[in-house]
Structure 1
Amino acid sequence: MSAGPARPPRPHRAGPALVTLAEAHRYDADLLGTKAAALARLAAAGLPVPPGVVVTIAAGPDGWDADLLAAIDAMTGRDGMAGSHGTGDVHGTESIDGTDGTGRFDGELFAVRSSARDEDLAGASYAGLYDSYLDVDRAGLVEAVRRCLRSADGVEVAAYQRARQPIGTGAGTTAPPSAGAPATSGTAGTGPGGMGEMGDAAGPSGAGGAGGMAVLVQRMVRARAAGVAFTAHPLTGARDETVVNAVRGLGERLVSGAAVGDEWVVGNGTARCLRDTEHALDEADALRVAALAARVAALAEQPQDVEWALADGAEPVLLQARPMTALPEPATWVPPGPGSWMRNFRLGEWLPEPVTPLFGDWLLPRIEYGFLAAMRQRAGAAVRFPQGQVNGWYYTAHPRPPAVLAALARGRLRLLRYLWTVLFQAGRRPEHADRVLLGGLALHWRATFLPGYRAAVRAAEERVETASRAELVALVDEVGALAGTQMFWISAVGGAAWKMEGALAAYLRDRLGGRCADAVQWLLCGLPCGEARLAPYAVSSLDWFRPTLGELPAAPGGPDPDRRRRLVERRMRAEADCRSALADRPADLARFETLLAVARKYAVLRDEQGPLLTLGWPVLRRAVLGLGELARAAGVVDDPADAFFLTTAELAGSRPAQERVRHRRERWERQRRLSPPLTLGPPEKLAEKFLDATVEAVRTRSVVPDGAIVGHPASPGRATGPARLVRGPEDFARFAAGEVLVGQATAPAWTPLFARAAAVVTDGGTLAAHASLIAREYGIPAVVGAGDATARIRDGQLVTVDGGAGTVELDG
């Protein structure tokens, strides 16, 4: 097939201007582009690929149009109609030549899709950045191809190339959405790519126009269903599961994000339907699609992201295949020891991502040291809580009975009294716990410990810049241990608040039944705050690798005075309703007033104590970066921030560790994409029963809508809005007003987002978590402890959050 009068191809891209897809397997991606090269290989291997023609990278901008139409005529068996004229209509976008729809090419329609050298690579999908057109008739083909070629010069492509950075820098690498592309050319996020080595055929060429772009023209498949199949689970990395997403009709609604689609998980010869909003497939269909995808992955010898279509009465056909990007390694979640392990208990509520090596090796043990020392001083003996990491994620467990008995032997009645009061009396007789122990602890914290904590941090800030290496190490040890002592005070004093809230809720439910079902949550909303939530030492994660709020750009937002006024009014109405309902029962009313007063006292204490945990984080970070600068000068690392990915011994050594740091950063980024379970090992029945009793006392209704996510009712109210998945500070800027904040967990530096949020949903957390407290402060619904919300909710999906019932309903 002649290239016609086109301009001569560039020497390094020599080859024919046009090739049929059937013969294209003889050429590589440097001529065909990644997408067409992958499909050519699959077609040559006998997989069902719709016939097509490739306008190659050698074609240049002009001179190939007549040859293209001739090739299309030959492919469709209409050689004698090569001179026919059509409308030039491209469905789903504007008409290319403006005519009114007469003279179709015998009903034959085509898909015109980009196939750039830089597209669908294993490390960069360029998803949605180049134009594609569907349902193009014969007369519109040439102009559609030209538009495809011109899309290589788009501003979105240039921005994506600038934004690409090596994994592990902490910067986001998500492509910005394409502005105005008529049809996306792939799924966003876990994007598909070429076959095997095709994914590494070429990096970004940087060439504009047609310099790095081929175009694939294929016969349209009139699909009754279409979608995407992932031959490894995108969230867990499991290679023995295929996830099939489907919509009715063409798959463009799915890959563009306009529809969520059905979801099937296929493994061990069976198919499970997790979501059936479109009713696009039955089990047999899902198994057939998975089998096609498995053939693709076997040929590629790596997990694949496969676009497919299914016509009536036919087997599925293959539209695109590419390596899965951002795929986590297969993860197994084995408890680090005997017993039940929890991710959202103690420090876990402050760690919404895996821990970095230096935090796990140094600061975490120092925090534990300070906690245990304070407990020995105040309770007579310390009870150690086992800690461990699974796939980088922090887990902790309740102390084992032998450890508790050994501690009781040391602390005797003093420890027994402490444990009995903190663990049981606070939730049964809160006013007694306040009188005999907790009130005195609160006074000591405020009058003695807190002033000393502040003074020690100020002194550290004064000497950190000129400190020697030994002095920096001592500074970290001292401030880290003080943070652990603050953790003890939060646990002993502020930690009683949720138990007291449960006691108040259970009392109202017992005395009033459904008359004041949601009263307890409103009774504790809009209380006066202690420490400012937006202090410079607020953190997005307890891991000191993350910058503190004072290091981040100023974020808009803050408490709305009008909203806060309405919240206080709502709280006062709840008080009045409860008092009115109990007015004819003086003893019950007096008990209500007692429980309300003590619950509010400790809710305010918890609100004040929590943010102060990280009072020393700015100076701790400066100390580590100072040690990192010394390591850089010694040739151990290339950047002072690399220190966070070393152990203490490595940081003190002299051996180069650049490669070790790079591998650890990459592993940390992979682990961030996992969805860790909330619990590992057998359930802790006594603790679970105690927590469930408190949660159920607060929950306003027990009927769960079909398909809803169920968590803990953390802040009352009901709101609907588009979901926005936020993993860390890199996502803060894209969070818009009116969206529902969805994350693994939140921490104080996330507070500005609450001013813009319609509601909040977190995987982890309890009634005492940051998300619970701040949602109530801002008067927005919140559901915490939802388990796998970040895995089940998609970006932009409409959700309804009922913070009183603890449910999240998914729309579509």
Structure 2
Amino acid sequence: MTVIPLTELDPADLERIGGKAAGMAVLIAAGERVPAGFCLTTDAFEAGRIPREEVEAAYAALGEDVPVAVRSSATAEDLPEASFAGQQDTLLDVTGLEDLLAAIETCWASLDSERALAYRAAHGIDGSRMAVVVQTMIAPRAAGVLFTANPLTGTRGEMVVDAAAGSGTAVVDGTVDADHYVLGEVIGPHAEGCLDRAQLTELRSVGRRIQEHVGAPQDIEWAYDADGVLWLLQSRGITSLFPLPESEDGQLRVYMEAGHMQGMQRPTTPMGASVMLRITRQWLDLFGATALEVPALLRFIGGRMFLDLTPFVRSPGIRRQLPEMMATYGPRVVPVIEQIVQDPRLTAQRLRIPLGAVARTVIRSAPPIARGVVAVLRRPEAERREILASAGAVREACEAPTDASTVAEHLDVAERVHLQVLDGPVLRSLNPLWVAMGCQSLATGLLHGLATESEVSEVVRGAPHNVTTEMDLELWRIAAEAAEHRELLTGTPVAQLVHMLREGTLPDIGLERFLAEYGHRGAAEIDVGVPRWGEDPAPVFDALANYLRLTDPVQAPDVRFRRAAEEGEAAITQLVQRVRDRRRPLAPLVGLLLRRTRQLIGLREFPKFLWLFALGQVRRHLLAAGALLAAQGQLEDAEDIMFLELDEARAAARDGTDQRELVAQRRATHERELRRRHVPVVLLSDGTDVEATLPVLEHADGLRGAGAAPGRATGRARVITDPRGARIEPGEILVAPTTDPGWTPLFLTAAGLVTETGAAMAHGPTVAREYGIPAVICVKGATTQIRTGQLITIDGASGRVSIE
């Protein structure tokens, strides 16, 4: 049967009735009032012929030539992850059989409209089939849309109603100024608008019933007829909401997104998150803080890493200073925290500090840190050499073969490897960073009134001994020496170049040596679920192609870096001279502090460089465990283990559980989150994106962010959301959501950098400063407000971005 009455639809039969019809079936099953009608299933669409007699009989059952609404109901429509709102056709007030048949044809044709095809491509949906819903028309006195959670702020405790007199289509297509209502727990009187208090109360009650029945926030179309009777026309999930944090105690909590500090805004895989939580536990145990609960400090929401700030927000002694304290994490955080500490729901409470844990941590960590800092101050060059030399030993320890042969043994190695790296090489490698940051901070204070922070930061331009800088320059040297192969490397598809490298047919340009040294790195490298360059060198070939397009010798990366180094040295000379002219007794101390800063700041990338060797071994053993589980039929392939957690992988090995369905669900969720463009900088446990509640500040002089690397640059924008497959022409300004070291090969040919998130201390801005290119961070919506090819000017000191 290709025509089914709406009252007989099975909500689970999505492939036959499509998303819209399935949503109506849910409403009917919940006992809600829905206009009568029928569904023409996808069977008819696949046959390519309308079953005229069936449609005629179903239409006649509704009444003689009754006006109907004809709505598309594609199988990829009104789904939890994609609404398809307005992408396919709806026709209203259709009267008569012939017009009805024509309207069905129109709905079918809209499946492959340009806008629908583009929407499916953007959401990674390969195909779709079309069912059609036919319902009797409701002559509305008022109609509109009800959101059971606030779609702008994400707040789950608020509902939003947009309404207009007459047809609701004007609200949906945006052709009228709708009456807008935000419904909290209490609905006060509304003097204006087309709905009264009783109707708003009824809509809120209906919304609660449907949301409770479905189990998720809903976007509901409704209409009040001439008699004041409420009809529901459609219900679908609100697809734009950021996932809701879990709150065990039911109290309002505050979470700050922390991935931007690592240049990581893409979602972490479930295994990547699980490993990160386990490592955090190991770090706390290492410092004697065993009493602290990791989930209370660190939480993954929507795959993104958040820190729980609730104890600090509620602390009477901290909350007032908190906005200023959080400035180091990025300027977008500050106004949000200022708003939060004024929230009456987050009243001050005494911060319960586990004094025993704090004491143990201080006793365990303070002496070695103090000794390390003193050693660096006394003999900086010797300490630097010894620390850099530790890379070989760490690499050897992490790449040494093991006798692991079972899933449990591979997981044991994956969990144990960090213990031998964290306590020793990584901790010691942090000491130069503490010294460099302390020296820079102290010098900035002594230069107060004589130089800005931006001017002081110029001393780190072209700073030596940065492993990320050295990596990028080494890749440039390979490109320079491979000039004779320019046509091959720039004109051959990257996949073919990767194949040639693996088959040994690529000319020897030094790439194998580069991957042997740096193959444990890549974009999003702190997530063990993401392949490294050694596994997938495609991004390295992309970077080589970028370098080989550079023909101006003045813009050669090594020349630019030497120029940046000269500017850094000159900055020290200029600043010391200013002090000598105005505060002469301080000049020797300021000079010493600035030189120590420049001498040591490049080592800030080294602790992570060492840690990545351990993460590389973790990934190798996880994949080995995944291969064993796949061989036993519990996973489809080895990579699927990255969509389990550590304990789940152990349980699968112990119990023989088939994890393929769970992996498929999590992979789909992960891919959906990969497409999410906006991540809240601060999120409340009720789902509120606090930044979205703040007033929008207009900037007549262009976009504003925060200066993170001084200097000015003008160039064509190149908007890139993923470094894989990215190409950037010399002189272009890179505009990205965020950047980590896996992005930095693009910096060597870029004239400047603009990011949507970040902090001045994060990897991307740090490397930009050392390359001598200006950088502006925390420009909200930069990748959508700026288009590739636009001429833009950025000021890395003031944080301004001007679009010409």
TM-score grouping bracket, smaller chain normalisation: 0.5 to 0.7
Identity among equivalent positions (%) equals 24
Query: Residues 258 and 581 of structure 1: is their aligned pair in 2 closer, same or farther, counting only changes over 3 Å?
Result: farther
Corresponding position of 1:772: 765
Corresponding position of 1:463: 401
2:162/2:180 contact within 8 Å kept: yes
The answer to which structure has the higher helix fraction is 2
CA distance in 1, matches of 2:209, 2:259: 43
Cα deviation, 1:19-61, whole Å, max 9, x if unaligned, reads xxxx965767878754257559869999898999987765964
Corresponding position of 1:629: 627
Corresponding position of 2:520: 537
2:141/2:223 contact within 8 Å kept: yes
Corresponding position of 2:356: 402
Query: Residues 721 and 141 of structure 1: is their aligned pair in 2 closer, same or farther, counting only changes over 3 Å?
Result: farther
1:498/1:768 contact within 8 Å kept: no
Residue of structure 1 aligned with 2:219, choices 289, 302, 306:
306
Between 1:750-759 and 1:703-712, the stretch displaced more is 703-712
User: 1:554 aligned to 2:538?
Assistant: yes
Corresponding position of 2:581: 584
Q: How does 1:232-311 map to 2 (within 5 A)?
A: 232=149, 239-242=156-159, 266-269=183-186, 291=204, 294=207, 297=210, 301-306=214-219, 308=221
Residue 550 (structure 1) shift: 3.0
User: Normalization by structure 2: what TM-score?
Assistant: 0.58
Residue 215 (structure 1) shift: 6.0
2:634/2:657 contact within 8 Å kept: yes
SS at match of 2:654: coil
Corresponding position of 1:35: 20
User: 1:213 aligned to 2:101?
Assistant: no
CA distance in 2, matches of 1:438, 1:642: 45
Corresponding position of 2:596: 598
Letter of the aligned partner of 1:542 in structure 2? I
CA distance in 2, matches of 1:409, 1:586: 40
2:71/2:134 contact within 8 Å kept: yes
SS at match of 1:602: helix
Q: How does 1:473-622 map to 2 (within 5 A)?
A: 473=412, 477-478=416-417, 481-483=420-422, 485-512=424-451, 516=452, 518-528=454-464, 530-532=466-468, 533=471, 535-539=518-522, 540-552=524-536, 554-555=538-539, 556-557=542-543, 562=555, 565=560, 568=564, 578=575, 584-585=581-582, 587=584, 590-622=588-620
Corresponding position of 1:741: 736
User: 1:148 aligned to 2:107?
Assistant: yes
Query: Residues 502 and 396 of structure 1: is their aligned pair in 2 closer, same or farther, counting only changes over 3 Å?
Result: farther
CA distance in 2, matches of 1:76, 1:716: 74
2:6/2:37 contact within 8 Å kept: no
Q: How does 1:747-762 map to 2 (within 5 A)?
A: 747-751=740-744, 758-762=753-757
Residue 388 (structure 1) shift: 0.6
Query: Residues 345 and 675 of structure 1: is their aligned pair in 2 closer, same or farther, counting only changes over 3 Å?
Result: closer
Query: Residues 749 and 486 of structure 1: is their aligned pair in 2 closer, same or farther, counting only changes over 3 Å?
Result: farther
Corresponding position of 2:690: none
Corresponding position of 1:686: none
Letter of the aligned partner of 1:150 in structure 2? A
Q: How does 1:35-434 map to 2 (within 5 A)?
A: 35=20, 38=23, 61=49, 113-122=71-80, 125=83, 130-131=88-89, 145-152=104-111, 175-177=120-122, 212-214=130-132, 229-232=146-149, 239-242=156-159, 266-269=183-186, 291=204, 294=207, 297=210, 301-306=214-219, 308=221, 320-324=234-238, 330-333=244-247, 344=258, 353=267, 356=270, 360=274, 386=292, 388-389=294-295, 391-392=299-300, 393=305, 395=307, 401-406=355-360, 414=367, 417-418=370-371
Structure 2 stretches of 5 or more lacking a match?
A: 313-352, 473-517, 686-694
CA distance in 2, matches of 1:404, 1:602: 29
SS at match of 1:597: helix
Letter of the aligned partner of 2:530 in structure 1? R
CA distance in 1, matches of 2:445, 2:704: 20
Query: Residues 416 and 606 of structure 1: is their aligned pair in 2 closer, same or farther, counting only changes over 3 Å?
Result: closer
SS at match of 1:306: strand
Query: Residues 773 and 371 of structure 1: is their aligned pair in 2 closer, same or farther, counting only changes over 3 Å?
Result: farther
User: Greater relative contact order: 1 or 2 (C-alpha under 8 angstroms, separation 6 or more)?
Assistant: 2
Query: Residues 460 and 302 of structure 1: is their aligned pair in 2 closer, same or farther, counting only changes over 3 Å?
Result: closer
SS at match of 2:737: strand
CA distance in 1, matches of 2:365, 2:684: 30
Cα deviation, 1:558-586, whole Å, max 9, x if unaligned, reads 68873964983986896687577657336
Corresponding position of 2:775: 781
1:233/1:243 contact within 8 Å kept: yes
Corresponding position of 2:2: 13
Instruction: Let me know the Cα RMSD of the aligned residues.
Output: 6.7
Residue 622 (structure 1) shift: 1.7
1:370/1:481 contact within 8 Å kept: no
1:231/1:293 contact within 8 Å kept: no
2:521/2:742 contact within 8 Å kept: yes
Query: Residues 451 and 580 of structure 1: is their aligned pair in 2 closer, same or farther, counting only changes over 3 Å?
Result: closer
CA distance in 2, matches of 1:806, 1:286: 48
CA distance in 2, matches of 1:285, 1:32: 35
Letter of the aligned partner of 1:614 in structure 2? L
CA distance in 2, matches of 1:553, 1:223: 62
Corresponding position of 1:90: none
Cα deviation, 1:739-772, whole Å, max 9, x if unaligned, reads 74335xx53224457677851133xx64332233
SS at match of 2:392: helix
Residue 519 (structure 1) shift: 2.0
User: Normalization by structure 1: what TM-score?
Assistant: 0.58
Structure 1 stretches of 5 or more lacking a match?
A: 1-11, 16-22, 80-109, 161-173, 178-187, 192-203, 272-278, 376-381, 423-435, 682-702
Residue 614 (structure 1) shift: 0.8
Corresponding position of 1:690: none
Q: What is the number of residues matched between the two proteins?
A: 648
CA distance in 1, matches of 2:801, 2:459: 23
Residue 531 (structure 1) shift: 1.6
Residue 478 (structure 1) shift: 4.4
Residue of structure 1 aligned with 2:375, choices 437, 445, 448:
437
SS at match of 1:511: coil
Residue 451 (structure 1) shift: 3.1
Corresponding position of 2:784: 796
Cα deviation, 1:294-346, whole Å, max 9, x if unaligned, reads 167259544354265999x9999966421345877642457999x99987499
Residue 639 (structure 1) shift: 3.6
Residue 131 (structure 1) shift: 5.0
Letter of the aligned partner of 2:740 in structure 1? A
SS at match of 2:77: coil
Residue 805 (structure 1) shift: 5.7
Cα deviation, 1:531-570, whole Å, max 9, x if unaligned, reads 2456322241423222223333523346887396498398
SS at match of 1:584: helix
SS at match of 1:538: coil
